[in-house]
Homo-oligomer: A and B are copies of this chain.
Amino acid sequence: MHIALLAGDGIGPEVTAQAVKALRAVAANGPQFDFTEAPIGDAAYDTTGDPLPEATAELAERADAVLFGAAGTYESDLRPPEQRGGHALLRLRKRMDLFANFRPVTAFPELIGASTLKREAIEGVDLVVLRELTSDIYFGTPRGVHVTNGERVGVNTMRYTESEIRRVAHAGFKAAQGRRKKLCSVDKANVLETMALWREVVTEVGREYPDVELSHLYVDAASMHLIRRPRDFDVIVTGNIFGDILSDAAAMLTGSIGMLPSASLNAEGRGLYEPVHGSAPDIAGKDIANPLASILCGAMLLRHSLGQPAMAERIETAVRRVLAEGYRTGDIMEAGATRLGTEAMGDAVAREI
């Protein structure tokens, strides 16, 4: 089985290296993985002039799964889009048609103290944000800045086709069936026609899943309910831009942002696995980044793209044990725990496996 390693920028390389350690450890007596590295992001732009070199995109398409680190930095965001590290990720999502972005948010009991929310508000939170990832205002045209009547005018287009909504809705209902059977669709149907269509199509698809309880929330109300009663959510399905905002808010609730993996899947179940935290250039290369999100990406990759749920579970159990033993990276440190660097945390998980 062939895994493409796209470690990218900032802390991407150091955390991805720990995920590889975990994958190697869990595969020690089983099917072997082939890892192939390729450059992406600012790192790729600096050496090849393109943040997503053609060879990298082809490798990602051919591989059984892609383990991704992070791409882009605040500096490269000031350059034209085609030269930005972060933009490589958008292009790859589109090219591989990775329309279903799953971001599970779990309250790790050991880390609840690190949240700004009260224990009683977040204990037991176990939700998944399913964000549509290849359409919406991210990709709609016309787009750009032009001059009209002597002043600059910026335009972007939110656009969804029925079939784009339909396929992510199906993914949402299926995910809910495998969980607590509740799907909350988030839109802004009271103002945006595109989102009224979203609500209509999700409702239509819902008739095929009578066992799943479907509800709808406006995005502004959803952002409140996430803070007020996060435990009530099971699966949340929403569009690309609302999903960008809500999934980051949800990730922050549990105090475990350094712990959260994500999977971006296409219709064939092939996918790209990426920690929710970004490239964090300020702490890169210091051996202090938390590698657990990337390690848990390895587990998601095993489950969703390689059909190895037992191996996935072994990684997840190892992570939980390491936390229970009191090991922490700096971001989740608390009194009485033992502080580990990035490498040492990776070693600790590999040892548990």
The answer to whether A224 touches B257, judged by C-beta atoms less than 8 angstroms apart, is yes
What B residues does A221 contact at CB under 8 A? 248
Q: Contact check: which of B84, B145, B152, B155 meets A157 at CB < 8 Å? A: B155
Name the residue on B nearest A144 (C-beta). B193
Any chain B CB within 8 A of the CB of A66?
no
Q: Contact check: which of B84, B189, B220, B244 meets A220 at CB < 8 Å? A: B244
Q: Contact check: which of B116, B163, B224 meets A121 at CB < 8 Å? A: B116
Contact mask A129-149 → B, CB, 8 Å, 1/0?
000000001101001110010
Beta-carbon contacts under 8 Å, A201-233 to B: 201, 219-221, 223-224, 226-229
CA distance A117 to B120 in the complex (A): 10
Determine which residue in A116, A138, A145, A252 has the highest number of CB atoms from chain B within 10 A of its CB, and name it. A116
CB distance from A283 to the nearest CB of B (A): 16
The answer to whether A223 touches B245, judged by C-beta atoms less than 8 angstroms apart, is yes
Any chain B CB within 8 A of the CB of A3?
no
What B residues does A223 contact at CB under 8 A? 223, 245-246, 248-249, 252
Any chain B CB within 8 A of the CB of A57?
no
Q: Contact check: which of B77, B193, B220 meets A156 at CB < 8 Å? A: B193
Given the interface contacts A117-B117, A194-B155, does A249 sit within 8 Å of B252 by beta carbon? no
Contact mask A244-256 → B, CB, 8 Å, 1/0?
1111110111000
The answer to whether A249 touches B249, judged by C-beta atoms less than 8 angstroms apart, is yes
**Count of interface residues, chain A, beta-carbon cutoff 8 Å:** 62
What B residues does A160 contact at CB under 8 A? 153-154
Any chain B CB within 8 A of the CB of A111?
no
CA distance A73 to B70 in the complex (A): 43
The answer to whether B189 touches A156, judged by C-beta atoms less than 8 angstroms apart, is no
Any chain B CB within 8 A of the CB of A304?
no
What B residues does A121 contact at CB under 8 A? 116
CA distance A132 to B228 in the complex (A): 26
The answer to whether B163 touches A159, judged by C-beta atoms less than 8 angstroms apart, is no
The answer to whether B158 touches A162, judged by C-beta atoms less than 8 angstroms apart, is no
Copies in the assembly, this chain: 2
Any chain B CB within 8 A of the CB of A20?
no
CA distance A155 to B157 in the complex (A): 7
Name the residue on B nearest A159 (C-beta). B155
Any chain B CB within 8 A of the CB of A344?
no
The answer to whether A224 touches B248, judged by C-beta atoms less than 8 angstroms apart, is yes
What B residues does A84 contact at CB under 8 A? 190
What B residues does A241 contact at CB under 8 A? 188
CB distance from A232 to the nearest CB of B (A): 12
The answer to whether B154 touches A157, judged by C-beta atoms less than 8 angstroms apart, is no
What B residues does A249 contact at CB under 8 A? 223-224, 226-227, 249
A-B pairs, 9 with minimum CB distance: A154-B194, A154-B197, A116-B121, A223-B249, A220-B248, A151-B162, A224-B252, A156-B158, A152-B162
Sample (12) of A-B pairs whose CB atoms are under 8 Å apart: A77-B190, A137-B137, A143-B194, A153-B162, A154-B158, A156-B158, A158-B158, A219-B245, A223-B246, A223-B248, A224-B251, A227-B252
Other than A90-B191, A151-B161, A227-B249, give 15 A-B pairs with Cβ distance below 8 A. Answer: A116-B227, A137-B158, A137-B192, A145-B194, A145-B197, A151-B162, A152-B161, A153-B162, A154-B193, A155-B157, A155-B158, A155-B159, A220-B244, A224-B248, A242-B245
